Amino acid sequence: MPLEISAVNSTPLCLEYAHMQYDYKYCPICKNELNTREEGGLERKRCSDRECEFVLWNNPTPVLAAVAHRNDEVVLVQSIGWPAHWFSLITGFMEAGETPEEGIAREVKEEIGLDCKVGELLGVYEFIQMNQIIIAYDVILSEGEIIIDREELVDFKTIRSGELKPWPSGTGQAVKKWLSQRGIENKELEFKKLKKS
Ligand SMILES: [Zn+2]
């Protein structure tokens, strides 16, 4: 699913997502209404039934991201529904029972059809608007043809590291870190230009 939008070396855009919160009205366990109560300075929704202990914690969801590359070229992908010039990193939700490294290798295989070697952790970045936390890895792609998952993606492109510009949000900061490890300091795309006009 689309998590974040960026464009590289063209007109950059970024979606302004509404605050992504799971907004349950009823308790998923006992079906009673949820009440909002303040606790330790934070408002939380709790089940109105005193016997039930359900609290809606609304913790951020871990999302994995890959600066996926081979032969000095990074692969960026475009999800279904994005404008034609929007591309971002390969990303996906972490699944139960897998390590982050296994998860990102699975996502890379699913999205572009290639095996890969998961390298070092580039960083962990907030994505507050989507209530997500982005865990980004350096990913070295195997040889072979890129075949994108047409149920999720419409297109991909490869960009040489020297031409890849980072962007302000989490995945873009992972790109910036990856570039800096190669001694590349490409100018960051400005956030105001990332907004849809
Ligand atoms: Zn309940």
**Exposure of 21 in the CB half-sphere (CA atoms within 13 A):** 9
Q: How far apart are CA 59 and CA 166, in angstroms?
A: 27
- Output the CA 129–ligand 1 centroid distance in Å: 28
> 157 and 144, same structural domain?
yes
- Residue 167 CB neighbours (<10 A): 25
What DSSP element (H or E) covers 70? strand 61-70
- Output the CA 97–ligand 1 centroid distance in Å: 27
| Entry pTM | 0.83
121, 141, 159, 145: which is closest to 70 by C-alpha? 141
Kindly report, residue by residue over 49-106, the tens digit of the pLDDT.
999 999 998 899 999 999 999 999 999 999 999 888 889 999 999 999 999 999 999 9
- Output the CA 25–ligand 1 centroid distance in Å: 11
Above pLDDT 90, what percent of the chain?
73
- Output the CA 52–ligand 1 centroid distance in Å: 5
Whole-number pLDDT of residue 141? 98
Q: What's the mean pLDDT when you consider all of the chain?
A: 87
**139 is a domain residue:** yes
- Output the CA 28–ligand 1 centroid distance in Å: 7
| CB 178, CB 67: distance < 8 Å | yes
List all residues 6 or more positions away from 71 whose beta carbon is below 8 Å from its beta carbon: none
> 54 and 66, same structural domain?
no
Whole-number pLDDT of residue 133? 96
- Surrounding residues of ion ligand 1, Cβ less than 5 A: 27, 29-30, 47, 49, 52, 54
- Output the CA 62–ligand 1 centroid distance in Å: 26
Kindly report, residue by residue over 174-196, the tens digit of the pLDDT.
999 999 999 999 998 876 655 55
pLDDT-based confidence at residue 150 (cuts at 50, 70, 90): very high
**12 is a domain residue:** no
- Output the CA 18–ligand 1 centroid distance in Å: 27
Domains held by the chain: number: 2
Domain that residue 137 falls in: 59-189
